[in-house]
Amino acid sequence: MKLNIVYKKEKKWFIGHIQEYPDYESQGKTVDELRENLIEIYNDINQGLVPDAEPFQLLEVAI
């Protein structure tokens, strides 16, 4: 499985989301902690525990 995680560092925290689910953010004191938190969110979505979660689609455009 491959997840694309978008994140930034704000002060002492790493804040991010899974690219396909930007409505569900998390944070961690390290990138590894953030990654684990986002994997947990992804697993909850896949198990149906977040019923209204719909993935965003990625559109690649060559210019």
- Residue ranges of domains in the chain: 5-46
Instruction: Output the pLDDT for position 1.
Output: 78
pTM as predicted: 0.87
**Residues of the chain falling short of pLDDT 70:** none
Instruction: Output the pLDDT for position 17.
Output: 98
Instruction: Output the pLDDT for position 29.
Output: 98
Instruction: Output the pLDDT for position 27.
Output: 98
SS3 for 1-63 is CCCCEEEEEECCEEEEEECCEEEEEEEECCHHHHHHHHHHHHHHHHCCCCCCCCCCCCCCCCC
Instruction: Output the pLDDT for position 58.
Output: 87
